Structure 1
Amino acid sequence: MRFKGAKGTPDTAAELAAALLLSAALLAGGGSRGAGDLVVHLAALPALLLAAMRWRWAPASRAQRAMALVCVGAIALAALQLLPLPPSLYSLLPGRETVLADLAQAGQPHGWLPLTLDRWGTVRALLAMMVFTSFWALACTLTHAARLRLLKLALVVATLTALLGYAQSAAGTYSQLRFYDYHHPIGAIGLFANRNHFACLMAMLLPFAIALGVQSQALRRVPATLAWYSVAAMLFLAAALSFSRTGLALACTAALAGLLLLTSRAGVASNLGRIRRWAPLASIAVAIAGIAVYAWDGISQRLQQDPLQDLRWQYLRYGWDAAQAYLPLGSGWGSFKSVYAPFEPVGSMREVFALHAHNDILETLIEAGLPGFVLLLTLLVTVICVTRKNLIDRTFHGPILGAAAIAAFVPLAHSFVDYPLRTHAVAVVFALVLSFLLTSASDAR
């Protein structure tokens, strides 16, 4: 769906602003903090301004309105967490007794204090939400053709990132091609600080590459068909070379779902028959052959590690204690690293520092309490309902819409064991995916 009637905001300017933010997120938004995030925040300013001028409530679909309420609700909640509260009210909040006791012991007058226990963490979270919201809202006001151009831009940048990942993997341990030296010294990681998030991005864009290949094949554009299927193979191989177990599982699932959903329906709707079905299968087969030759040794070593020894389970165990301590309002967006440590026994501590719970449902409960959980649940229900409706109505004969349904569930599923959507590069691409998925089927063709 395209919003009309935005005076003084030409589509070209809006598309360029969205392209600027998308490029900044993919090139500089793969880290956890720092200068890269600043670049993304600055690039989001024109997108935020244009989104505010162009987005309209009346023409929006029900799903888009629900998504808008989730975004506005999350931003409002973060803003409220930063508002100072009087001591009499602050002392009634769960988990604040220790804070007040420590301030009293240190002889520091506390006065009015905000709900959040990490002001700058909440500010960073607020900025991240505004980046996501501005891109999603602006993308919703663009035409389907404009969003397709943004998608192709994301695929081009992701392919270049995959090539960088190949070079990193070939260069070996602690290559100078790695821009973050504190995370994952082997395998492909691209412009990311976390290989799991790199693999998530590859898996999220993989079904779109297959869809564009199917679409090009239907139009009998041979060079474009070969190009998009080659991109699909490259993204699949890059996800495997990251040596991320979850990332590889997501890539396999996305590839399989893409082949089953896109080729079966497209094959029925066209006269290309078996040739059309075999072409995407061949691209995935090439990727699998590359994985067998270049990535299997690293993958097998990762698979031999006992998953029960992963620190994620420890974060879940003690993170739940933290969530219970700060319910119902939470400790503040972005405050997990500050509030989790006291709940982890000294004997269970390791040499690594827990920045995130590696489960976004749990981390949302800790940081935003029940209001944040309701917002997160609304997002999940919206995506599930839209996907279910489109499947029942059989409107997924549009390859891009079908790919969006698959891609949307990649970071959502990954968020049960990690935190990919807290990285700008993944979050902005996810916003682009939702701009496709939450539109009507008639506008998506």
Structure 2
Amino acid sequence: MLSSAATLFRRKSGPSAGRHSRIFWILGAYLAFAFLIGGGSRSDIVSLLFLRPVAALIFTLGCWSLTRDALCARPVFLGIVVAILALTILHLVPLPPQLWQSLPGRGIVISIDHATGAGDIWRPLTMTPDEGWNAFYSMFVPLAALVLGLQLSPGQLSRYLPMFIVIGIVSGLVGLGQILGGDYSPLYFYHLANRGLASGIFANRNHGAVYLATMFPMLAVFAAGQPEHGRHARTIRLLAVGIGALMIPFLLVTGSRGGLFAGIVGLASVPFLYRPVRSTGKQVSRRRSTMVYAAVGGGALALVALTAFMSRAVALQRLLNQDNKSEVRFKVWGPILDMTRDYMPFGSGLGSFVKIFQVNEPDVLLKPTYLNHAHNEILEVLLTLGIPGALLLIVGLGAFAVAAYRAFRTPVSTSQARFARLGAVITLLIGIGSLGDYPLRTPSMVCLLMIALLWLGGGRADSKMARN
């Protein structure tokens, strides 16, 4: 059965153009499927039982058809991905008892083993093996998108933009329905969700808000791709402006402060992405573009004021609220940083945050609920993955900075240049969201990141691939 399915991908099954066309449609269907059922990150979400096996199958078949040209097109990006996968696997490999017991922070487990007479046991580096394996299985979701996307040209990858815009519209409308339907609205698709607030097709309102923030740069690139006097160009631009106007109140009612900040950055990126071209191929004058930006900015401020006046701007209300007694995440960052020192240099292990925090949680922070993540990915990486994870994070951020610098240094006169900038902005917005939450642990959001990074690296793609 696997062999039969692989014939859809294999290079020998037909001409290169036909093979790439099949991969394009398969990846598109997979991305839609991921957004349909992959809006939550909890390990007990039932829909993941369907998404992850599909992702593993697509990843396997995608690897079957990978070519040397596709692998060599983005060596730095692939090198970082391989390093992350290798570190994940290393955290799951059982270690000799003497070596494992010498690792910092393992004293409580050693004491339990001695008290129960368990003896010497080979254990993996992570202190929570079950959650470590869960993290490993979750990696198939972005890897499936990656191995297929690597085989597509920059032009083919850019054709996914309208789909992402439609997904954002749907999520915003679902969020509106959630607000109108109240806490028990059937539009909350996940058992544990931010009920009473607009989370859209996501379980977490912050993740939904970050996605809405990415809509502004996406709409700018979509509108900029239409020639000034092209057929239906004016209608498409007006449609883009209208959709962007809808996103502002949709974003405000999520109640996400991080999403609000990401939205401001997303709006600020529009002048760097929207460079409309005339039918002759020349860019529209700066004066006219400035007038467009001023009009859009004024309209955005008016919508913010109107939403606040109607008392639905929950994000603004939370931002201006000086009472932070209910805000736990800022209070736990200090204790998490203190815990990190106890588990250096290798960390407490992949997926171990919940249990490690519960063991070391200060008495003043004890509550009936539990903290599922650090709500700051830098801190969680330091605690669970230690120095190796920190080094990978630094290398990844450095590679992103170099690629983003190249993207914005290149004149935005071609579709490929615009999409490279778009990929940089989307990655930045997701990074902003990761400073106060964990959007990249949501399957659908990490798939978006894979496409964004492929857009960002489009300018480095192999010329042979670009012609396909």
TM-score, normalized by length of structure 1? Answer: 0.89
Partner of 1:355 in structure 2?
372
| Structure 1 residues 187 and 219, CA gap change in structure 2 (3 angstroms) | farther
Structure 1 residues 338 and 394: CA distance shift in structure 2, 3 A: same
Change (3 A) 1:175 1:329: same
Report the Cα distance in structure 1 between the residues aligned to 2:335 and 2:82, rounded to whole angstroms.
Answer: 30
Q: Distance in 2 between matches of 1:245 and 1:396?
A: 34
CA distance in 2, matches of 1:119, 1:396: 50
- Cα distance change of structure 1 residues 190 and 284 upon mapping to structure 2, 3 Å threshold: farther
The residue aligned with 2:60 is 49
Cα deviation for residue 283 of structure 1 reads 5.2
User: 2-side partners of 1:219 and 1:11: how far apart?
Assistant: 32
Partner of 2:213: 203
**Cα deviation, residue 263, structure 1:** 3.5
Residue number among 250, 269, 272 corresponding to 1:261 in the alignment: 272
Which residues in structure 2 correspond to 1:14-163 (within 5 Å)?
14-33=23-42, 34-56=45-67, 64-109=74-119, 111-163=121-173
Choose which of 326, 338, 353 in structure 2 pairs with 1:321: 338
> Amino acid of the residue matched to residue 189 of structure 1?
S
Distance 1:22 1:71, change over 3 A: same
**CA shift for structure 1 position 144:** 2.5
Amino acid across the alignment from 2:24: E
| Aligned twin of 1:302 | 318
Task: Tell me which amino acid in the other structure corresponds to 1:301.
Answer: Q
Matched position secondary structure for 2:347: coil
Supply the distance in 1 between the matched residues of 2:189 and 2:288 (Cα, whole angstroms): 42
The one-letter amino acid paired with 1:262 is: L
More deviation, 170-179/134-143: 170-179
TM-superposed deviation, 1:361: 1.1
Closer/same/farther in 2, CA of residues 272 and 167 from structure 1, 3 Å limit: farther
Identify the match of residue 384 of structure 2 among 357, 364, 367. Answer: 367
Within the candidate set 224, 229, 233, 1:214 is matched to: 224
Could you say which residue in structure 2 is the equivalent of 1:244?
256
Letter of the structure 2 residue corresponding to residue 381 of structure 1:
G
- Give CA-to-partner distance per residue, 1:244-294, whole Å, 9 cap, x none: 111011111111111x21236869942466555555655565554444334
CA offset digits 1:275-334 (Å, max 9, x no partner) = 555556555655544443345522343123337643222221111122111111112211
User: 1:110 deviation in Å?
Assistant: 5.0
Residue 143 of structure 1 aligns with an amino acid whose one-letter code is S
Offset at residue 381 of structure 1 (A): 0.8
Identity of aligned residues (%): 26
C-alpha displacement at 1:389, in angstroms?
A: 2.1
Equivalent residue letter for 1:227: L
**Residue identity in the other structure for 2:360:** F
Aligned to 2:3: none
CA contact (8 A) 1:232 1:284 kept: no
Residue 263 of structure 2 aligns with an amino acid whose one-letter code is A
CA distance in 2, matches of 1:91, 1:168: 50
Q: Output the CA distance in 2 between the equivalents of 1:6 and 1:314.
A: 54
| Aligned equivalent of 1:407, options 395, 406, 426 | 426
Task: Give the Cα–Cα distance (whole angstroms) in 1 for the partners of residues 28 and 298 of structure 2.
Answer: 32
Amino acid at match of 2:143: T
SS at match of 1:27: helix
Give the 3-state SS of the residue equivalent to 2:424 in structure 1.
helix
Counterpart for residue 437 of structure 1: 456
Select between 388-397 and 29-38 the one with higher mean Cα deviation: 388-397
Once the two structures are TM-superposed, the CA of residue 75 in structure 1 deviates from its matched residue by 1.3
CA distance in 1, matches of 2:308, 2:174: 15
> Does the CA contact (< 8 Å) of 1:233 and 1:284 recur in 2?
no
In the alignment, structure 1 residue 416 sits paired with structure 2 residue 435 = yes
Partner Cα distance (2:150, 2:119) in 1:
48
Mark the runs of 5 or more structure 2 residues left unpaired by the alignment: 1-8
Amino acid at match of 1:43: V
Deviations 1:373-428 (A, max 9, x none): 11111111111111112333435753322222211100112212211111112111
The 8 Å contact of residues 212 and 399 in structure 1, kept in 2 or not, is answered as no
CA contact (8 A) 1:358 1:416 kept: yes
State the Cα distance separating 1:223 from its structure 2 match.
Answer: 2.9
For residue 318 of structure 2, what is the amino acid of its counterpart? R
Aligned partners of 1:266 and 1:54: how far apart in 2? Answer: 37
Answer yes or no: is 1:292 the counterpart of 2:292: no
1:337 equivalent in alignment to 2:354: yes
Classify 1:299/1:95 alpha carbon distance in 2 versus 1 (closer, same or farther; 3 Å).
Answer: closer
Q: 1:284 and 1:126 mapped to 2: Cα distance?
A: 43
**TM-score for the superposition, normalised by structure 2:** 0.85
